[in-house]
Amino acid sequence: MPTSTSSRPPDDVGAVSSFAPSPSASPETVYGNAGLPARRKLAIINLLAVLLPLVGLAAAIVLLWGESFNWTYLAIMGGMAVLTAGGVTVGYHRLCTHKSFTTSPLLRYLFTAAGSMAAQGPVIAWCAEHRKHHQHSDAEGDPHSPHITARGSWGQGVRATLQGAVHAHVGWLFGPASQGLDKYAVDLRRDRAIVLANSHFELWVIAGLVIPAILGGLLSMSWMGVLLGFLWGGLVRVLLVHHVTWSVNSVCHLWGTRPFESRDESRNNALVGLLALGEGWHNNHHAFPTSARHGLRWWELDFSYLFIRLLEGLRLARDVRVPSPDRVQSRKRRRGESADAGAPHTEPDAPTCTPEDGPHAVHHL
């Protein structure tokens, strides 16, 4: 059973970003015997597995256009995708898991409800699993690393490569349940708004299927519209958001750039960054886990952060955390350092919100 090696209190794991590196997180353990070619192969297979079904779906949509798909169902599907993916990125991830900003209990409930409609599990288990990922990233105990299992490296060869990619993307969801998650959820279980939303998970999943069906029916004034709204805005949308979210776990630990020091294989991937509303800037995120802003450079589009800034402008969010320019600079990978070095970092990311900041000022980590 994986054990936490952090010296921090277990209930503090997700609330702050000071994930102490595990002794097992050395590059040797993370990479096992897999050399660079094996990892490249893993990245290519994973990328194809993610992209080809999306190409297939796009082809199906083109072929069905005018018959069982049109602008109405595109709008319903797109709107529901943004609503529920945003619920995951802003609600489940940045608000509940990492506490990168604070907001009212009502908004905590509503953002969590929107995330629940993505059908990725109740919020408390989701957050606990993700906090565990951060603490053990690409090392023993990581629930969904494409590089390592509980038994060590996935190894080399096509079979091992495929196993790692499938495990990180979706396979881990069907494996043995993660152990020791309770310690990652202590603070969440004390939050009444989150506990309430957690208990309403199934209701919100159903609502996420019923709402597009009703919209389809009303906009077309037909029972066929109800069915097509359910299919496109419900089932197909769940499929799309699932794969985009899972791609953060798989693609963003395989394929992309690593501008920052991190003790894992996290990567910045522009395509996932765009599709996952900013979550694809994953190396940035592992370097600064409690930052509300994942796209740290001006061209790293981060819709979730823009939404959080909008909330802040409307005085609906406060204590929005971002790393100071000095901290960003200090964590940059030095020139000439191998992108695959995977050097463990020892500097904690503990956020220090400056008390002199106003109630709506951005807080630097």
Binding site for Zn ion (CB under 5 A): 266
How far apart are CB 334 and Zn ion at their closest, in Å? 22
Nearer to Zn ion, 120 or 266 (CB): 266
Nearer to Zn ion, 144 or 233 (CB): 144
Q: Give the nearest residue (CB) to Zn ion.
A: 266
How far apart are CB 115 and Zn ion at their closest, in Å? 14
Q: Rounded to an integer, what distance in angstroms lies between the CA atom of residue 216 and that of residue 223?
A: 9
Determine phi and psi for 275, rounding to 5 degrees. -70, -35
How far apart are CB 207 and Zn ion at their closest, in Å? 26
How far apart are CB 133 and Zn ion at their closest, in Å? 6
Nearer to Zn ion, 266 or 269 (CB): 266
Which residue, among 86, 78, 116, has the nearest Cα to 303 in the 3D structure? 86
Nearer to Zn ion, 208 or 278 (CB): 278
Nearer to Zn ion, 247 or 266 (CB): 266
Strand partners, 65: 69
Q: Return the structure tokens found at 201.
A: 């998970």
Q: Return the structure tokens found at 184.
A: 């990652």
Q: Strands 148-149 and 152-153, how do they pair?
A: antiparallel
Q: Strands 363-364 and 321-322, how do they pair?
A: parallel
Helix axes 105-116, 192-199, angle to 10 degrees: 30
How far apart are CB 176 and Zn ion at their closest, in Å? 20
Taken in order 253, 268, 80, 293, the sign of the CA dihedral is: positive
| H/E stretch holding 321 | strand 321-322
How far apart are CB 88 and Zn ion at their closest, in Å? 11
Nearer to Zn ion, 266 or 268 (CB): 266
Nearer to Zn ion, 168 or 236 (CB): 168
Which residue, among 131, 111, 110, has the nearest Cα to 186 in the 3D structure? 131
How far apart are CB 136 and Zn ion at their closest, in Å? 10
Q: Rounded to an integer, what distance in angstroms lies between the CA atom of residue 147 and that of residue 284?
A: 19
Q: Rounded to an integer, what distance in angstroms lies between the CA atom of residue 258 and that of residue 244?
A: 20
Q: Which residue has the tokens 């309403």?
A: 200
